[in-house]
Chain A
Amino acid sequence: MIDTKLYFIAGVFIFCLMSCKKPPRNYYADQNDPGLSRLTSYGYNIATNYINGIAYINPYNNPSYFGLGGGNVIPTLSRIIGSGTTDDTLALSWPVEANNNLQSDSYLYISILMPVSKGLTENNFAALSGERFDSNTNIISLTSYLADSYYNYYNYPTYSDSLAYTSPRGPSNIYFVNISMSPSGDLSMAGLFNGNIGDTTITNGRFDFYLPSSYIHF
């Protein structure tokens, strides 16, 4: 009887192992921009850009046992409440790594910050679909975390809270090519971005995100 149970458990275990399937990376190389993904709107949760000519991408987490979790790191979308009558700031943030094993990771995190009126709702945000914001209006800015902030980066409780960390910032352009919201409040967004922080230039940025409502903090 015990042997039968053991065989059954072993069988289930083997079946579970065989049924494990890693979530896809969904990286499809852009033929015109080496190291970058194509501009897509399929909810692939992929973002790529050049930083001083080096291609960066959001990381991929390997799934845990039985294929649970894992996949491309999903960004956070947070609203930082401004003090008093100051406008709030919308922050779209994700970690990055060099998309080339030959390059070291000089930058760990990108945040796109955008001043928004108080009381912004998800519907207001979805209405930004098709809007292009340029850096001359100073509506948005780009933040990157330097390698020496590694300690701070991993000691913040959540990614969105890391925005409190003082980092180099500069003007940025952003274009929300497409934003759509599901009835359950999940957001899909695709767009372009670039910017510069002093001598550091961020170019050819493109993102294709699918954010479950739990990742949207407003």
Chain B
Amino acid sequence: MIKSLTILFCFILLSFSIKAQSYLGLSTGIAKDVNDNPNETFYHIPVTLQWKPFWSHYNPFMMELNYDIPFTGSNTAIAYTLNPSLPASVQLQEQIRPYVFTASIGMGWRTIINKERNNILYFGAMTGICNQSFYVNYQHYDKVNYEILNPDVNSNLTSLVLIGEVAYKFHNNMIIMLRAQTPLVDESNGSYPLSYKDVAPLQLTFGYNFYYNKGHIDERRRKKRRIRYDRY
């Protein structure tokens, strides 16, 4: 079994592009929470910055920063009052904004789809630290006269996450990427129950990869070819 996995790993490595390069990628798009939040689904605009610092395909180390800017999610809550001159209960609109920041490191591999056009498929597997800040606001809430039953409150969660992503580079270094992030490993939010839970964004982003160290790699390749030709 181990032998088979080793062979498979070597096969994947050998299938990599010989045009390994360092790059800095920036992309944005849309993200949907897939953590099955009970009352609503959160949507975000993600901004992802990727950096693969080493040109060698034998060193697949890469880093990533990701920030998810939320669309405001909405929920309802009921508030009650003892004041006989006011309605006994009112329904309130609750707004929840989860900001998600993730810093991760991991490995990225790639394989050529179309060598002539230099279209490349990237795979990434990373682990990171994720901070999720939830801001709760009740619209038109009369705090003096009314009390909300089982109110939600702001919360701030930080824990480990795992990330998997597939990206396709095409047409002059443009990139389209599908990125999935797990919920927080430690989801505990204290013992007070909230109507929401941490988010697990599934992102579809579009962006650009800025390649560098290209000349350095080409020079290595040229040297190799020269050596090869000299033999003959």
Contact = CB atoms under 8 A, between A and B. Distances in A.
Contact of B150 (A41, A175, A192, A204): A41
Interface string A39-52: 11110000000000
Contact of B82 (A32, A40, A41, A194): A194
B149 A42 contact: no
B191 interface: yes
B123 interface: no
Nearest to A206: B147
Contacts of B143: 32
A66 to B, nearest CB: 22
B84 A42 contact: no
A132 interface: yes
Contact of B80 (A24, A39, A42, A204): A39
Given A28-B192, A31-B153, A32-B143, A39 B148 contact: yes
Q: Which among A39, A174, A190 has the highest number of chain B CB atoms within 10 Å?
A: A39
Q: Which among A24, A41, A132, A206 has the highest number of chain B CB atoms within 10 Å?
A: A132
Interface in A39-72: 39-42
Contacts of B81: 175, 192
A209 to B, nearest CB: 14
B188 to A, nearest CB: 14
Contacts of B153: 31
Contact of B84 (A26, A134, A178): A134
B88 interface: yes
A14 B6 CA distance: 49
Q: Which among B88, B149, B153 has the highest number of chain A CB atoms within 10 Å?
A: B149
A90 interface: no
Contacts of B193: 42
A192 B82 contact: yes
Contacts of B149: 39-41, 177-178, 190
Given A24-B191, A28-B192, A32-B143, A39 B84 contact: no
Given A24-B191, A190-B149, 9 more contacts: A28-B192, A40-B149, A42-B193, A132-B84, A132-B88, A175-B80, A193-B82, A194-B82, A206-B147
11 contacts: A26-B191, A31-B153, A39-B151, A136-B84, A175-B81, A175-B88, A177-B149, A178-B149, A190-B149, A192-B147, A194-B82
Given A132-B88, A175-B88, A39 B147 contact: yes
Nearest to B191: A24
Contacts of A39: 80, 147-151
Interface string B139-152: 00001000111110
A56 B81 CA distance: 20
Contacts of B147: 39, 192, 204, 206
A111 interface: no
A173 B85 CA distance: 13
A169 interface: no
Interface string A165-207: 0000000011101100000000000101110000000001010
A38 interface: yes
A204 B82 CA distance: 9
A42 B191 CA distance: 11
Interface string B189-210: 0011100000000000000000
A94 to B, nearest CB: 18
B7 to A, nearest CB: 50
A186 to B, nearest CB: 19
A173 B192 contact: no
Contacts of B82: 132, 134, 173-175, 192-194
Nearest to B192: A28
Given A24-B191, A28-B192, A40 B80 contact: no
Contact of A38 (B80, B88, B151): B151
Contacts of A24: 191
B106 to A, nearest CB: 38
Contacts of A132: 82, 84, 88
B37 to A, nearest CB: 20
